[in-house]
Structure 1
Amino acid sequence: MSVLTRDEAQTRAQLLDVQHYQVDLDLTTGDDLFHSRSHIRFTARTAGDTFVELKPETLHSALLDGEPLDTTTLEENRLPLRLTEGEHVLQISTTMRYSRTGEGMHRFTDPTDGESYVYTQLFMEDVQRVFAAFDQPDLKAVFELSVTAPEGWTVLANGITAQQPDGSWKAAPTPPLSTYFVCVAAGPWHSVRTEHAGLPFGIHCRRSLAPHLDADADEILTVTKACYDRFHEKFDEPYPFDSYDQAFVPEFNAGAMENPGLVTFRDEFVFRSAVTVTERQTRAMVIAHEMAHMWFGDLVTLRWWDDIWLNESFAEYMGYQTVNEACADLFPDTWVDFGVTRKAWGYEADQRPSTHPVAPDPEAVPDTASALLNFDGISYAKGASALRQLVTWLGEEDFLAGINIHFKRHRFGNATLADFIDNLAAATDRDVHGWAEQWLRTTGVDTLTPRLEGEGTRWQLHVDRTGSRPHRVEAGVYDRQPDGELTRRERLFLDVPQQTPAELTGPRPALVVLNDGDLTYAKLRFDEASEESVLRGLSRIPDPLTRAVIWNAMRDMVRDGDLAPADYLEFALAHLTEETELALVQGVLSFARTQIADRYVTEDERPAALSTIRQIARALLRRTEDGEAPGLRLTAVRTLIDSATTPDQIASWLDEGTVHGGPELDPELRWRILARLAVLGATDETTIAAELERDTSATGQEGAARCRASLPDPEAKAAAWSALFDSDDLSNYLFTATAQGFWQPEQTALLSAYVPRFYEAAVALGDRRGPAMAEAAGRYAFPSYAIDPESLSLGERHLNDDTMIPALHRKLVDQLDDLRRALRVREA
C-alpha cells in the first residue's frame, strides 16, 4: 500500500478545494463485505494530476464529471485523476471488506447472543477502507451519510440520524470535517438518551452489556454534563456539533476516538465486574479527554501529522484538569494518578532511542507511516506535562486567552505549531516562542537535585540541574515532628536555572522535595539527608501528590540502576502497607509485579521478590477487613492472584466463589485466577472449557484464549503459536489475549525455542495484517521475559530487516531498549 507523504499532501492541498461528500453505505450484503458509494464535489484551482484513495475489495465504477474512468488504473490504494481547472464531481462505487483488526469498518458478532455490530475507526488513513476520499486532514469538507442497515439495527453517525420511509438511515450534514473524523456505528444498540444544554446526549453499547451500562449511566452522564459545562466556562467558542453521543464499541484498539458528535470508546469501560474508584476515574478522564478534542482536534485540526501532539497533549492535559475541577466530588485529585501512571509512561518513552520532540520537525514526519509512530508517551504524557508546566509559567488566565484566540482564528480550519504559539504569544508578554523551542523541540528528561548550604538557622537552597530546560517548580521544605510525621514548613516557587539560591530560615530541613506539586516534567533526586528521611518516613507525608512525586523518583532510581530492585520492594513493604491513596497503591504494585519481579530481578531472585509483593498484598488485605476500602481490597486480591507461586489458596477461592471476607468472585476475578492456575500448571482444558460455558461473553472468549495459551504444555504452546502467526483468524482482541498468555517467566525453558522464531513470524504477520496487528505483535507477543545478552543480540540483528513495517520496527526498538535496561539493572 502506498502511504501518503507530506509533500504529496501539500501539493494536493494547493490543487484542491473539497466541498462535499455524499457517502452511501449498504451493510445488508453479508458478514464479510459491504457496498460503498462516494459522491465528491470539489474544485481544482488549476489544471493538474492528482489521485483519490480507496482500498476496495472490488472497484465497480468511477465517474469523473459523468465520464467513466479506467478502473484498472487503480494501483494499490490510488486512483489517478487528471483534472481541468474548475468544479468537478467524482462518483465511485465499490465493495469493501469488513475488518477484524479494529481498522476501517470493524465487524463483531457477540458470542453471548449472536448479535452483530459494526463501527468505523478511520484514523490516519483508514477512511480508504470504507469509502473513496481525498484522505488528508487539511482537505476538510461537509459530509452527508446514508446507511442501509439490517432490520432492527440503529445507525449512529457524526450528526443526528433518522430512519427514512424506505428503512435506510440518514445523518444530518456535518460542519467541515477532516476525513478521519467521519464515523458510523451500526447495530442493535442499547441506548440511554437524555438532553443537556439544548442538545441530545446519548450513550450506547451492545445489548448484552445493557444491565452494566444502565448501572453506570448516571455516573457517565453526570461526568459528561459536568465536563461539557466546564469547557463552556473555559472556551468562548460553543460546542460546535449538533449532538453528543458516546458509543462503547467492541474490540476497539485505542482507549477512545474523538469523532465529532460520536465518540467511540472501548467497551471495557462498561464495567461488568468490580472495579476501583481509580478505574472509574480513568473512564471519567477519557470522557473529558475526548470532549476536549471537540475543540482542539475537531474544530481546529492539525494541518499535517507532525502536529499530532497539539491534539493529544492538549486533550490529555485538559482531561485531567477538567475532571479535577468539574468532578472533584467523585474523584478528588486526578493529578495523583497522572503522576504515578501516565507521567511514568512519558519518562520511559523519553529515555528510549525512539524518543522524539513533543513537536517534531515536519521533516521528521515525512509520511503517514512515520506519523503513526508518534502516538506514544511523549505525544500524550510528556506533552501534557509540558502544557501543565506552561500553565504554571504563563498563568491559566493567559493560557486560556491564547487558546480562545486560537479557536477563533482557525474555526473549522487547520492550524500548525507556529499558529498555536503565535496565538498564545498574543495573550501574554512572556517569550512563548523561546519556551516552545526549549520544551517542544528538544528530547530527553532533565534531572533536578537539591543542595543545601549553610548552618544553624540560615540555609541556602541550590537546585542542580542535569539538562537544558527552564523549569518553574514548587520546592517543599519539610520538618520531622516528634511522632515521625513529615510536615511541610513552606513551599517555595523556584525558577530553574536559579539567578540566586533560595534563602531558608529555621533548622535544617529534614526533607526537601523539588517539584512538590508535580508541576514540571523532570526526574528528581534527593540530597543525602532528604533521602534518609524519605526511606524512613514516606508514609508519614500527608499530601498524596507529594508521595506520588517521591514514588516516581524511587521508580526512576531503580530504572537507572541507582536503587536495587530488592531495596525498592523493601521500601514498598515499609510504606505501601500504610498507603491510603489507591492510585499510588495500584501504580507501585503494578511496577513491582510487572517490571521488578518479572524483569529486573534474576530468575533466582524472583521467588523472594514475589514473596515480598505477596506480603504487601496480605497486609493490605488485613487492613481492609472492615469493608471501608473496597478498592484497596480488590487491588490486594488481584495482586495476590497474580503473584501466587503455589495454587492452593487461589484455587480454594475459585472453588468457593469468594475471597474470605470478600469480595465475591465476579467474572474478571475468576478468569484472573484461572489464568494464574494455568501458568502454574494447576488447571487443564476441561476446567477452562467449563469456565467458558459459565461465561460465554466476548470477555470469556478472551479469558479462555489467555488461559489456554498459558498452559505449560508443549501442545498448548504450539496451538497458541499457530493461532497467533500461522493464520489470520484471530480478531485483534483474541490475538492480544492469546499473546498475553503465551510468554510466562515461569516457563522460560519450555519457550526458549520460540524466541528466535518470533522475529520472522512477526514480520510476516505485519506484512499480511497491517500496522495495528503488527503493533499488537510487538507489544504483546514479544518474548519480553527472555532477558539475556543472546536475546538482545538476536533482536538487534533483526532490526536490520528492511521488510519490517514501521509500526513493528518502532515497537521492537522500544522492546529491545527495555530488555537492554533490564540487563543493566540486573548488572547494577
Structure 2
Amino acid sequence: MSVLTRDEAQTRARLLSVQRYAIDLDLTTGGEDTFTSRTAIHFTAHTAGDTFVELKPATLRSVTLDGTPLDPEALTENRLALSLTAGPHELHVDADMTYSRTGEGLHRFTDPVDGETYTYTQLFMDDVQRVFAAFDQPDLKAVFDVTVQAPDGWTVLANGITAQQDDGRWKAATTPLISTYLVAVAAGPWHSVTTEHAGLPFGLHCRRSLAPYLDADADELFDVTRHCYDRYHEKFDEPYPFDSYDQAFVPEFNAGAMENPGLVTFRDEFVYRSAVTDTERQTRAMVIAHEMAHMWFGDLVTLQWWDDIWLNESFAEYMGYQTLNEAAQRASSGQLPAWSSTDTWVNFGITRKSWGYDADQRPSTHPVAPAPDAVPDTASAMLNFDGISYAKGASALRQLVAWLGEKDFLTGINTHFARHKFANATLADFIDSLARATDRDVHAWAGQWLGTTGVDTLTPTVEEAGGAWHLTVTRHGERPHRLTVGAYDAGHGNTLVLREHSDIDVPQDEPAARPGHRPALLVLNDQDLTYAKVRLDGASTETALRALSGVPDALTRAVLWNSLRDMVRDGELAPAAYLETARTHLTEESDLAIVQGVLAFAAGHITDRYLTPIERPAALALLTDLTRDLIRRTEDGTNPGLRLIAVRHFIDAATQPDTIRGWLDEGHVPGGPALDPELRWRVLTRLAVLGATDDQDITAHLTADPSATGEEGAARCRAALPAPAAKEAAWNAMFHADTLSNYLFTATAQGFWQPEQEELLRPYTTRYYQDAPPLADRRGPVIAEAAGRHAFPTPVDAEALHLGEAALARTDLLPALRRKLTDQVDDLRRALTVRGRATH
C-alpha cells in the first residue's frame, strides 16, 4: 500500500479545495465480511493537473468523474489517478469495503454474551480509505453528509445528530468543516443514556451487555462531562463548535479514546464491570477531559500536517489534567466525587510523566515538534504517538504556563482559535499567536523546548556559610527551567515539615542563598512544574530513603519517587534499595496513584527485568509481604481502593498457589473484596503461570463468564500454561493463524512470556525474530505494534540482545514494528546495564 508523503499532500492541497462529501454506507449487505460504500465528492481544481483519490476496497464496482466512467481496474494499490481540468468536479465511487477486526477502518464486533453485532469507525491517520473514498489528508477539510442503512433494531450515531428517515436510512446532520480522519459512525443495537446540557443533547452509549454497568456510572460520567464543558467555556472564547456531544464506549478499541467531533469513542473497558480505585475513576475522567479539549485543539483548529501532532495531543493532555483539576474544585461542595478526590497532577507525575522520560531516553526519541521533513509520510507520523507527543509535550506546556503565566497563555490560545477556526494551523502559527499575548521571547522558548530531544538532569549542591545555605543547581542539558525548590525540616518521628518554597530559574546567575541551616530534605522541582530528571544531594537522599512517607504533599512525594526511579534506571541506585524503600514507605502512603505507580515499577521493571533470576524470588517475597501488610492495614474497610491495589499485586507476586487458589474457590478475599470478573481472571492467570490450573478449569471459568473480557482472560490463561503444547498453540494463534482480533492477540501475547518459564520459552526468542516481520507485513501496523509491544521476548541476557540488534539491522521491517523493536531492544540493553552495575 502506498503511504501519503508530505510532498504529495502539499502538491494536492495546492491543486484542490474540497467542498463536500456525501457518504452512503449500507451495513445490510455483504454479511460479516463486507459492506457497501458509496461516496460523492464535490471539489474544485484550481488549475488543470493530475492527482489521485485514496480507496482500499474489497471490490471497486464503479467510478465516475463528472458523469464520465473511469476504469476501476486503474486503481493501483490504494490510489485512483484523476486527470482534472480547472474548475468544479464531482467524483462518485461505488465499492464494497472490508470490515476490520483490528480496530482500523470500520471495525465489526459480535458480542459473545448475546450475539449482538456492533460496528464503529476509527479513521485516524490514513484509515478513512478503508471506509470511503477520500482525499485523505488533514488540510483538505470539507463538510460531510452521512447516511447509513443499518439492520432493524440498530441505532446509528455520527458526528452530528442522527435521525431515521422514512426509507429506514439513518441520516446525520451536515457537519461543519472537518478533516477526513475525524468523520465518525457507530452503528449497532446500542444501549443509550441521554440528557441535555447548555442546550445541547449529551449521550452515553455502550453494548447492551454492558448496560447495567453504564447505568451505574452514568451520573458520574455526565457529572464529569458537564463540569469540563463548563470549565472549557470559561477558558475559551470560542463556543463548543458542534451540535451534540455523544460518548460511545466501543469494543476492541485500539486507543484510549478518539476525538471525533460530536461523537467521541472510548475503549469500553472504561465501562467498569469490576471494582476500580478512585485513581482509575480519575483517569477515566481525565480521558473525558482530554477528548473534550480536542473539540478545540484538533477539531476546530486542525494540524496542517502530521509533524504538528503535538498541537493536538500535548494540548489535550495538558488541558485534560489541568481542567479536570479546576473542574474538581468547582465540584467540591461537600464531599469530593471519586473522580476528583486527589490532585490530577500527582497521577500525571507518577504515571504519565515517566512514560515521557523513558521515551525521551531511547534512540527513537524525537522533538515534541519535529521538523516537517522529519515526518515525510503517514507511516513515519504514526510512530510519533508516544510518550513524547503526549507526556513530554504536556509537561513542556505546564512549564510554559509557569514561565509565561496562565493569563497570557490563555490569551494566546484564544487568539489562535479565533485566527484558525475550522481551518488548519502549524507550529509557527501557534507561536505567533502566543507571541502576540506577551513580551517574552516565545520563539526562543519553543526552539529550546519543542525542537530538541532528551531529558535534562538537574543536580543540587548545598553549602552552608555565614548563617545561610547556598544552592547551586548543575544542569546537564540545554533547556531553561522555571522551578520551585522545596526545603523541609525534620519533624516528629519520620515526618518532615515544609520550611519554604522558593522559585528559581536554571541556569542560575548565581547560587541561591537562603537564611538559616541547610534543610534536612531539599527537593528540586518540588511542584513538578518542569520536565527534567532531578537528583538529590547526599543528605537529602538519606532523608528521602528514611522518611519519604513523612513528606506532607503527595505531589512532592511523586517527584521524589520519580527521582528514585530514574536513579535505578540510570544505575545510580540499586534496584534492591528501591524495593526496600517501597517496603518501608508504601504502608504509610495515602495517595493511591503513588501506591499503584511504585508497585507497578517495582513489579514490572525491577522484579521482572532489573533483578537476575536468582534475585527474583526474594523480590517477590518482599512484594508479597508488602502487599499483605497493605491488606491487613485495610481490614477495617476504610480504604477499599488501597485494598484492591494490594490484592491485585499480591496475586501477581504469588509464588505458591494455595492462598490465591483458596480465594478463587471461596469467591472472595477474606474480609473482602469479592472476586469480581477482573480478579477471578487475574487469579486464574497467576495459577496458570504457576502450573496450578489446566485447560478444563479455564474452560469452566469461561463458561461462567462468556463475555469479551472472559474470552481475553481465557486466551491469556491458556497462553500462560507452562506446557509445551500450550505454548505452541498460543504461538501459532499469534504468528501463523492470522485470525485473532487485536484484543485477543494482545491477551495471548500477555500470557505467553513469563519470567518463571524462561527455560521452556528460550527457543521462542529466536522464533520471534523469524515470525514477527512477516506477521507485521501480513496484518499491518496495529498488529505489528502489538507484536512489538506485548509479544516481545522477555529474557534478559546477552543472547537476546544480540538477536534484537541483528533484527534491527534488517532494512525490510514495517515501520511500526521497527519502532517497537528499537524501544524494546534499548530497554533490554538498559536492563542488562542495570544488572551489571547492581552486581559490582
Report if the CA contact (8 A) 1:142-1:175 is conserved. Answer: yes
Structure 2 Cα separation of the partners of residues 255 and 482 of structure 1: 44
2:828 is equivalent to residue 819 of structure 1:
yes
Residues 255-300 of structure 1 show CA distances to partners (whole Å, capped at 9, x for unaligned) of 0000000000000000000000010000000000000000000000
Aligned equivalent of 1:545, options 555, 568, 576: 555
Aligned equivalent of 1:715, options 712, 718, 725: 725
Unaligned runs of 5+ in 1: none
Structure 1 Cα separation of the partners of residues 541 and 763 of structure 2: 45
- Report deviation, 1:484: 3.1
Aligned equivalent of 2:811, options 794, 802, 818: 802
Residue of structure 2 equivalent to 1:217? 218
Structure 2 Cα separation of the partners of residues 573 and 481 of structure 1: 22
- Report deviation, 1:327: 2.0
| TM alignment of 1:602-621, pairs within 5 A | 602-621=612-631
Residue of structure 2 equivalent to 1:733? 743
Report if the CA contact (8 A) 1:455-1:508 is conserved. Answer: no
Residue of structure 2 equivalent to 1:676? 686
Report if the CA contact (8 A) 1:192-1:203 is conserved. Answer: yes
Residue of structure 2 equivalent to 1:467? 477
Residue of structure 1 equivalent to 2:530? 520
| TM alignment of 1:550-629, pairs within 5 A | 550-629=560-639
| TM alignment of 1:150-161, pairs within 5 A | 150-161=151-162
Report if the CA contact (8 A) 1:457-1:508 is conserved. Answer: no
Structure 2 Cα separation of the partners of residues 588 and 518 of structure 1: 17
2:32 is equivalent to residue 23 of structure 1:
no
2:344 is equivalent to residue 334 of structure 1:
yes
What amino acid is aligned across from residue 26 of structure 2 in structure 1? D
Report if the CA contact (8 A) 2:464-2:517 is conserved. Answer: no
Residues 103-131 of structure 1 show CA distances to partners (whole Å, capped at 9, x for unaligned) of 00000000000000000000000000000
Residue of structure 1 equivalent to 2:333? none
Aligned equivalent of 2:799, options 782, 790, 798: 790
Residue of structure 1 equivalent to 2:508? 498
| TM alignment of 1:658-697, pairs within 5 A | 658-697=668-707
TM-score with structure 1 length normalisation?
0.99
- Report deviation, 1:734: 0.4
Report if the CA contact (8 A) 1:193-1:202 is conserved. Answer: yes
| TM alignment of 1:393-404, pairs within 5 A | 393-404=403-414
Residues 593-646 of structure 1 show CA distances to partners (whole Å, capped at 9, x for unaligned) of 111010000000000111111111011111101100000000000000000001
| TM alignment of 1:77-88, pairs within 5 A | 77-88=78-89
Residue of structure 2 equivalent to 1:279? 280
Report if the CA contact (8 A) 2:125-2:378 is conserved. Answer: yes
Structure 2 Cα separation of the partners of residues 421 and 578 of structure 1: 45
Residues 210-265 of structure 1 show CA distances to partners (whole Å, capped at 9, x for unaligned) of 00000000000000000000000000000000000000000000000000000000
State the SS of the aligned residue for 1:327.
Answer: helix
- After superposing on structure 2, the runs of 4+ consecutive aligned residues of structure 1 that deviate more than 6 Å are none
Residue of structure 2 equivalent to 1:53? 54
2:183 is equivalent to residue 182 of structure 1:
yes
2:541 is equivalent to residue 531 of structure 1:
yes
| TM alignment of 1:379-394, pairs within 5 A | 379-394=389-404
Structure 2 Cα separation of the partners of residues 766 and 815 of structure 1: 16
Q: CA RMSD in A?
A: 0.7
Structure 2 Cα separation of the partners of residues 148 and 336 of structure 1: 47
Report if the CA contact (8 A) 1:478-1:488 is conserved. Answer: yes
- Report deviation, 1:455: 2.9
Structure 2 Cα separation of the partners of residues 348 and 18 of structure 1: 41
Report if the CA contact (8 A) 1:456-1:508 is conserved. Answer: no
- Report deviation, 1:802: 2.2
Structure 2 Cα separation of the partners of residues 484 and 116 of structure 1: 58
| TM alignment of 1:283-302, pairs within 5 A | 283-302=284-303
Structure 1 Cα separation of the partners of residues 784 and 545 of structure 2: 43
| TM alignment of 1:354-503, pairs within 5 A | 354-455=364-465, 457-503=467-513
What amino acid is aligned across from residue 294 of structure 1 in structure 2? M
- Report deviation, 1:456: 5.6
TM-score with structure 2 length normalisation?
0.98
What amino acid is aligned across from residue 823 of structure 1 in structure 2? L
- Report deviation, 1:393: 0.2
Residue of structure 1 equivalent to 2:332? none
What amino acid is aligned across from residue 736 of structure 1 in structure 2? T
Structure 1 Cα separation of the partners of residues 466 and 585 of structure 2: 31
- Report deviation, 1:69: 0.6
What amino acid is aligned across from residue 159 of structure 1 in structure 2? G
- Report deviation, 1:457: 2.5
What amino acid is aligned across from residue 819 of structure 1 in structure 2? L
Report if the CA contact (8 A) 2:769-2:803 is conserved. Answer: no
| TM alignment of 1:163-312, pairs within 5 A | 163-312=164-313
State the SS of the aligned residue for 1:691.
Answer: helix
Aligned equivalent of 1:780, options 765, 774, 790: 790
What amino acid is aligned across from residue 463 of structure 1 in structure 2? V
What amino acid is aligned across from residue 339 of structure 1 in structure 2? G
- Report deviation, 1:727: 1.2
Structure 2 Cα separation of the partners of residues 271 and 673 of structure 1: 18
Residue of structure 1 equivalent to 2:2? 2
State the SS of the aligned residue for 2:187.
Answer: strand
What amino acid is aligned across from residue 93 of structure 1 in structure 2? D
Structure 2 Cα separation of the partners of residues 797 and 685 of structure 1: 37
Residues 345-381 of structure 1 show CA distances to partners (whole Å, capped at 9, x for unaligned) of 0000000000000000001000000000000000000
Structure 1 Cα separation of the partners of residues 539 and 750 of structure 2: 43
2:124 is equivalent to residue 115 of structure 1:
no
Structure 2 Cα separation of the partners of residues 456 and 578 of structure 1: 38
- Report deviation, 1:482: 4.0
- Report deviation, 1:483: 3.1
Report if the CA contact (8 A) 1:450-1:463 is conserved. Answer: yes
- Report deviation, 1:70: 1.3
Structure 1 Cα separation of the partners of residues 285 and 486 of structure 2: 30
What amino acid is aligned across from residue 705 of structure 2 in structure 1? D
- Report deviation, 1:730: 0.6
Structure 2 Cα separation of the partners of residues 386 and 452 of structure 1: 27
Residue of structure 1 equivalent to 2:71? 70
Report if the CA contact (8 A) 1:456-1:507 is conserved. Answer: no
Q: Which moved more, 1:459-468 or 1:471-480?
A: 459-468
Structure 2 Cα separation of the partners of residues 13 and 52 of structure 1: 12
Structure 2 Cα separation of the partners of residues 503 and 798 of structure 1: 53
Structure 2 Cα separation of the partners of residues 458 and 341 of structure 1: 37
Report if the CA contact (8 A) 1:480-1:486 is conserved. Answer: yes
Structure 1 Cα separation of the partners of residues 406 and 659 of structure 2: 53
Residue of structure 2 equivalent to 1:149? 150
Report if the CA contact (8 A) 2:23-2:147 is conserved. Answer: yes
Structure 2 Cα separation of the partners of residues 15 and 767 of structure 1: 33
Unaligned runs of 5+ in 2: 330-335
2:709 is equivalent to residue 702 of structure 1:
no
State the SS of the aligned residue for 1:95.
Answer: strand
Residues 755-779 of structure 1 show CA distances to partners (whole Å, capped at 9, x for unaligned) of 1111221111111111001000000
